[in-house]
């Protein structure tokens, strides 16, 4: 018992002393992200992206003369652990907190940063995150409340579908997306065909494709993770499902194309953020990322990459490295690549932390994502 | 000094230290800065998980049954409390309701499940966990589905809000202490003796007139109720619940805690929960302070954590409490005093005394 107790005590002492003193000329920014568990891929992309950005910023002299140092805390894709991680970060009173990326973990933590008055730069895309009254939340990618109306418009005007079937992955993001898109369909008079829930990691989509064929809607909206998207697309081709397959970002990503090969050809949809975007800065980012980490970044890598640049632009506008000042500067701020090349694509944040920037309509042709149309920002 | 004599004073001192641990005492000339909110939050998580593990310990360590359903009961308690407190029902009622509901579900599940033994029992409880998880996930009207339930508020006690992490820690500590005393009383009561009897040899226990089925059910239901009460504390602690912490993997983790800590001992699950909750946090904090990237990879907390657990399983299968007991209990095997007096010895030590 003595031994155990001594061990426990030393452990607790270590926890107590863990908050490292902030050195004079480095600014610490904690990243509370998914480095193990179900979200490990997503979190690792974010970690690599943000690390790369910070290296660049530091090499160019830092932010307002101060070097940035990132700290990484693993949430293990568990909202409870995310909360502990955010609390640990808040105790140090940082100028900003990055993460989490999974919407569930963001939901669990956004009130904490709101109370502490620290900007939280998140990767979560669930629509309801920005409606919970936090003044300190900032997205790095479209919420479903922005991307789904764009998709619905495209289905109505581009695809001209009257009925649409939906197949989605049953987790917080997939279900949230499904709810958002069906609402948009309703308001546009588009009828819902089959409404299919699938599991994360599902291997066999044969039965789902049979149901989709039976429903015979004008188009199918596919909202699955990368691997599952590829499996689904292959199965749809095999069974001769000849309706247009419409997706959001993931379905048109390089990973799906690599996995599904020619079966991916003909897939269409909306792309919010992608390394395949026809923008030189993004292509340059993709090349640097590939060279540094030896694999291709996904959109989470880009989200992580722009987060430090958001802080840089906001702090430079505010003229000081202070949490409250950064938040004030970020609300209504438009960051353009002319002044801050690291932002990649011009983006604007509104009072709720929602991001606005251009996005793309694309199609997979000959094993490549081809951008067919660039959609303007919602507000000019 | 034997272990059993040390137990009570050590326990009292530990509880006192736990009360004072997060408090800043530099004001009264003691060089202890206390813990920040992060420390209090983690200690609270530890206590909550320990309560659930205590339930598993009753079922596994004392009654000799298996359960992979503790995360499900933990979840039922958490969801019930979340839904009830959001509907304006006071926390106290929600807490008791969680205990009652999980007790009843424990009996209902245990009635058919406890007819089978060992692995089969584990499978039945495993199926139950998956079933409950699916309910949490799919019954959106009740549980919020995969989006979970947000904004669960912490209760107040006699007009004092328990929102600050320190107050909620003390509150949880008090409840944990009460539940621990109850458990201590239970395993020393005739019921507890009966549990142990059926763990050691169910047939012999039955031949001594113990209603084996009834006691198995009772152990299972009480253990499950501990899971429910832990869940009731977890909901206001985290403030947000979704189905993921109540899936199968955490159920396995509860078993691991009990085995690592020392199954069939009072302190075992508490120490096991500490290892499952506090050790990873500490390792992560420690590894984040290492600046050399090579060392940081070596010190990757998941790696170290896994190694510690494996070494512990290999070298002290009786858990940490078993290890400590071995250290504190004098070796007496070379002397034959367990076999009673031998010819030529003048003094015969009384049984149980060194």
What digits encode the pLDDT tens for the residues A125-156? 888 888 888 899 999 999 888 889 989 999 99
More confident residue, B300 or B94: B94
CA atoms of A233 and A223, how far apart (whole Å): 12
Contact criterion met (CB < 8 Å) for A79 and B245? yes
Calculate mean pLDDT across residues A94-120. 91
| pLDDT tops 80 at residue B285 | no
User: What confidence score (pLDDT) does residue B344 get?
Assistant: 45
Band (A310; pLDDT cuts 50, 70, 90)? very high
Report helix, strand or coil for A196.
Answer: strand
pLDDT digits (tens, 9 = 90+) for B179-204: 999 999 999 998 888 888 888 888 88
Calculate mean pLDDT across residues A84-106. 91
User: What confidence score (pLDDT) does residue B232 get?
Assistant: 96
Q: Which of A28-32, A191-195, B4-8, B24-28 has the lowest mean pLDDT?
A: B4-8
Predicted TM-score of the model (pTM): 0.80
List chain A residues with CB under 8 Å of B21: 12
pLDDT digits (tens, 9 = 90+) for B125-153: 999 999 999 999 888 888 888 778 888 88
Band (A378; pLDDT cuts 50, 70, 90)? confident
List chain B residues with CB under 8 Å of A12: 21, 35, 39, 43, 278
Query: Any CB–CB contact under 8 A between A163 and chain B?
Result: no
Upper half-sphere CA count for residue B97 (Cβ side, 13 Å): 15
Percentage of chain B exceeding pLDDT 90:
33
CA atoms of A125 and A141, how far apart (whole Å): 7
Q: Which of A116, A39, A52 is nearest to A324 (CA)?
A: A116
Is residue B253 domain-resident?
A: yes
User: What confidence score (pLDDT) does residue B307 get?
Assistant: 82
User: What confidence score (pLDDT) does residue B301 get?
Assistant: 66
Calculate mean pLDDT across residues A61-68. 92
Is residue B1 domain-resident?
A: no
The closest CB to that of B21, out of A4, A12, A90, belongs to: A12
Contact criterion met (CB < 8 Å) for B147 and A104? yes
Contact criterion met (CB < 8 Å) for A79 and B148? yes
Contacts of B100 (CB under 8 A, 6+ apart): B225
Please give, rounded to a whole number of angstroms, the shortest distance from the CA of B239 to a CA of chain A: 7
Calculate mean pLDDT across residues A233-248. 92
- Token digits of residue B38: 């992060």
Band (A261; pLDDT cuts 50, 70, 90)? confident
User: What confidence score (pLDDT) does residue B2 get?
Assistant: 58
Query: Any CB–CB contact under 8 A between B33 and chain A?
Result: yes
pLDDT digits (tens, 9 = 90+) for B160-182: 888 888 899 999 999 999 999 99
Q: Which of A206-215, A324-333, B144-153 has the lowest mean pLDDT?
A: B144-153
CA atoms of A270 and A246, how far apart (whole Å): 8
The closest CB to that of B238, out of A1, A18, A108, belongs to: A108
The closest CB to that of B147, out of A4, A111, A176, belongs to: A176
Contact criterion met (CB < 8 Å) for B238 and A71? no
In a mutagenesis test of the B interface, which of A6, A18, A94, A175 is the best target, namely the one with the most B β-carbons within 10 Å?
A: A18
More confident residue, B351 or A193: A193
Other beta carbons less than 10 A from residue B54's beta carbon: 29
Q: The domain containing residue B193 runs over which residues?
A: 37-329
Is residue B111 domain-resident?
A: yes
Is residue B203 domain-resident?
A: yes
Please give, rounded to a whole number of angstroms, the shortest distance from the CA of A343 to a CA of chain B: 27
Contact criterion met (CB < 8 Å) for B41 and A83? yes
Phi, psi of A135 (to 5 degrees): -95, 5
Band (A20; pLDDT cuts 50, 70, 90)? very low
Residue ranges of the domains in chain A? Answer: 23-142+281-349, 145-271+359-375
Report helix, strand or coil for A244.
Answer: coil
Calculate mean pLDDT across residues A357-378. 87
| pLDDT tops 90 at residue A331 | yes
User: What confidence score (pLDDT) does residue B18 get?
Assistant: 87
Calculate mean pLDDT across residues B105-115. 87
- Token digits of residue B99: 């205990």
CA distances from A228 to A168, A200, A301 (A): 10, 8, 20
- The answer to whether B96 and B80 are in contact (CB under 8 A) is no
CA atoms of A303 and A233, how far apart (whole Å): 26
| pLDDT tops 50 at residue B341 | no
> Average per-residue pLDDT in chain B?
84
Strand-strand pairing, A347-349 and A355-357: antiparallel
Query: Any CB–CB contact under 8 A between B4 and chain A?
Result: no
Upper half-sphere CA count for residue A134 (Cβ side, 13 Å): 29
In a mutagenesis test of the A interface, which of B21, B26, B33, B38 is the best target, namely the one with the most A β-carbons within 10 Å?
A: B38
- Token digits of residue B111: 């009635």
Band (A207; pLDDT cuts 50, 70, 90)? very high
| pLDDT tops 60 at residue A7 | no
CA atoms of A116 and A324, how far apart (whole Å): 10
Which fold is adopted by the domain A145-271+359-375? Rossmann fold (3.40.50)
User: What confidence score (pLDDT) does residue A17 get?
Assistant: 47
List chain A residues with CB under 8 Å of B244: 38, 77-79, 104
More confident residue, A103 or B129: B129
Band (A6; pLDDT cuts 50, 70, 90)? low
Band (A304; pLDDT cuts 50, 70, 90)? very high
Percentage of chain A exceeding pLDDT 90:
55
- Token digits of residue A180: 């958002």
| pLDDT tops 50 at residue A341 | yes
The closest CB to that of B148, out of A38, A71, A107, belongs to: A107
User: What confidence score (pLDDT) does residue B340 get?
Assistant: 46
Report helix, strand or coil for B126.
Answer: helix
Is residue B12 domain-resident?
A: no
Percentage of chain B exceeding pLDDT 70:
88
Crossing angle between the packed helical segments B91-113 and B118-138, to the nearest 10 degrees: 140
Residue B147: closest C-alpha in chain A:
A172
Which fold is adopted by the domain A23-142+281-349? Rossmann fold (3.40.50)
Is residue B63 domain-resident?
A: yes
| pLDDT tops 60 at residue B87 | yes
User: What confidence score (pLDDT) does residue B216 get?
Assistant: 87
A170-209 CB burial, b ≥16 within 10 A, e <16: bbbbbbbbbbbbbebbeeeebebbbebebeeebeebeebb
- Write out the DSSP string of B231-287: HHHHHHHHS-B-SGGGSHHHHHHHHHHHHHH-TTSSSHHHHHHHHHHHHHHHHHHHH
| pLDDT tops 50 at residue A101 | yes
Band (B248; pLDDT cuts 50, 70, 90)? confident
| pLDDT tops 70 at residue A97 | yes
Contacts of B280 (CB under 8 A, 6+ apart): B301, B302, B305
Contacts of A232 (CB under 8 A, 6+ apart): A167, A205, A208, A209, A222, A224
Contact criterion met (CB < 8 Å) for B45 and A84? yes
pLDDT digits (tens, 9 = 90+) for B28-75: 777 777 788 888 888 999 999 999 999 999 999 898 888 999 999 999
Q: What dihedral angle (degrees, nearest 10) is formed by the CA atoms of A129, A134, A137, A143?
A: 20
- The answer to whether B245 and B137 are in contact (CB under 8 A) is no
CA atoms of A136 and B175, how far apart (whole Å): 35
More confident residue, B339 or B2: B2
Band (B78; pLDDT cuts 50, 70, 90)? very high
More confident residue, A206 or B301: A206
Query: Any CB–CB contact under 8 A between B90 and chain A?
Result: no
| pLDDT tops 90 at residue A119 | yes
List of E strands, chain B: 156-157, 160-161
User: What confidence score (pLDDT) does residue B345 get?
Assistant: 45
CA atoms of B53 and B269, how far apart (whole Å): 5
User: What confidence score (pLDDT) does residue B315 get?
Assistant: 81
Number of domains in chain B: 1
Is residue B354 domain-resident?
A: no
The closest CB to that of A79, out of B21, B36, B242, belongs to: B242
Q: Are both A23-142+281-349 and A145-271+359-375 of the same fold? A: yes
Calculate mean pLDDT across residues A63-85. 88
């Amino acid at each position: 018992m003595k031994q155990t107790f001594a061990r426990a005590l030393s452990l607790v002492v270590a926890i107590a002393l863990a908050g490292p003193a902030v050195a004079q000329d480095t600014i610490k920014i904690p990243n509370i992200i998914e480095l193990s568990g179900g979200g490990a891929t997503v979190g690792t992309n974010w970690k690599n992206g943000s690390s790369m950005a910070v290296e660049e910023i530091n090499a160019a002299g830092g932010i307002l003369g101060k070097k940035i140092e990132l700290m990484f805390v693993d949430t293990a894709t568990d909202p409870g652990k995310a909360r502990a991680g955010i609390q640990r970060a808040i105790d140090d009173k940082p100028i900003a907190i990055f993460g989490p990326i999974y919407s569930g973990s963001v939901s669990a933590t956004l009130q904490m940063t709101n109370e502490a008055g620290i900007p939280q730069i998140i990767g979560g895309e669930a629509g309801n995150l920005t409606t919970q009254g936090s003044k300190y939340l900032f997205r790095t990618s479209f919420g479903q409340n922005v991307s789904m109306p764009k998709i619905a418009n495209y289905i109505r005007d581009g695809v001209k579908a009257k009925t649409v079937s939906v197949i989605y992955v049953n987790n917080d993001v997939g279900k949230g997306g499904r709810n958002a898109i069906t609402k948009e369909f309703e308001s546009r008079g588009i009828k819902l065909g089959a409404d299919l829930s699938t599991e994360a990691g599902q291997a066999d989509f044969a039965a789902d494709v049979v149901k989709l064929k039976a429903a015979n809607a004008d188009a199918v909206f596919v909202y699955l993770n990368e691997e599952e998207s590829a499996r689904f697309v292959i199965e749809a081709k095999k069974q001769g499902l000849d309706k247009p397959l419409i997706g959001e970002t993931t379905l048109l990503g390089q990973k799906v194309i690599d996995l599904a090969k020619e079966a991916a050809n003909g897939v269409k949809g909306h792309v919010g953020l992608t390394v395949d975007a026809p923008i030189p800065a993004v292509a340059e980012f993709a090349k640097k990322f590939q060279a540094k980490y030896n694999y291709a970044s996904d959109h989470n890598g880009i989200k992580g990459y722009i987060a430090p640049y958001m802080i840089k632009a906001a702090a430079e506008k505010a003229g000081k490295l202070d949490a409250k000042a950064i938040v004030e500067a970020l609300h209504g701020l438009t960051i353009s690549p002319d002044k801050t090349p690291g932002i990649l694509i011009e983006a604007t944040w509104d009072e709720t932390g929602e991001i606005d920037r251009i996005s793309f309509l694309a199609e997979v042709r000959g094993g490549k994502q081809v951008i067919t149309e660039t959609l303007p920002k919602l507000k000019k | 000094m034997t272990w059993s004599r040390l137990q009570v004073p050590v326990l009292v001192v530990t509880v006192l230290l736990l009360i004072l641990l997060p408090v800043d005492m530099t004001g009264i000339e003691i060089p202890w800065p206390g813990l920040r909110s992060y420390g209090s939050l983690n200690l609270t998580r530890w206590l909550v998980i320990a309560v659930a593990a205590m339930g598993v310990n009753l079922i596994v360590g004392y009654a000799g049954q298996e359960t992979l359903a503790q995360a499900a009961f933990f979840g039922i308690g958490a969801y019930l409390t979340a839904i009830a407190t959001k509907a304006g029902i006071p926390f106290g009622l929600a807490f008791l309701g969680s205990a009652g509901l999980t007790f009843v579900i424990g009996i209902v599940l245990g009635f058919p499940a406890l007819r089978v033994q060992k692995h089969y029992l584990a499978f039945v409880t495993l199926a139950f966990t998956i079933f409950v998880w699916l309910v949490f996930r799919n019954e959106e009207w009740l549980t919020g589905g995969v989006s979970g339930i947000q904004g669960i508020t912490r209760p107040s006690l006699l007009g004092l809000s328990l929102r600050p992490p320190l107050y909620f820690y003390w509150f949880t500590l008090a409840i944990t202490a009460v539940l621990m005393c109850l458990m201590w009383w239970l395993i020393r009561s005739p019921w507890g003796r009966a549990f142990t009897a059926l763990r050691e040899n169910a047939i012999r226990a039955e031949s001594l007139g113990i209603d084996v089925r009834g006691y198995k059910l009772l152990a299972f239901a009480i253990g499950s109720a501990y899971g429910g009460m832990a869940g009731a504390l977890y909901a206001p602690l985290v403030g947000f619940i979704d189905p993921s912490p109540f899936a199968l993997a955490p159920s396995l983790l509860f078993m691991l805690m009990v085995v690592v800590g020392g199954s069939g001992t009072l302190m075992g699950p508490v120490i096991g929960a500490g290892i499952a909750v506090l050790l990873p946090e500490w390792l992560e904090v420690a590894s984040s302070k290492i600046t050399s990237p090579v060392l940081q990879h070596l010190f990757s907390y998941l790696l170290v954590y896994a190694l510690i657990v494996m070494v512990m399983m290999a070298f002290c299968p009786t858990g940490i409490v078993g290890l400590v007991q071995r250290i504190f209990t004098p070796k007496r095997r070379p002397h034959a005093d367990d076999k009673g007096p031998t010819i030529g010895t003048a003094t015969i030590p009384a049984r149980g005394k060194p």
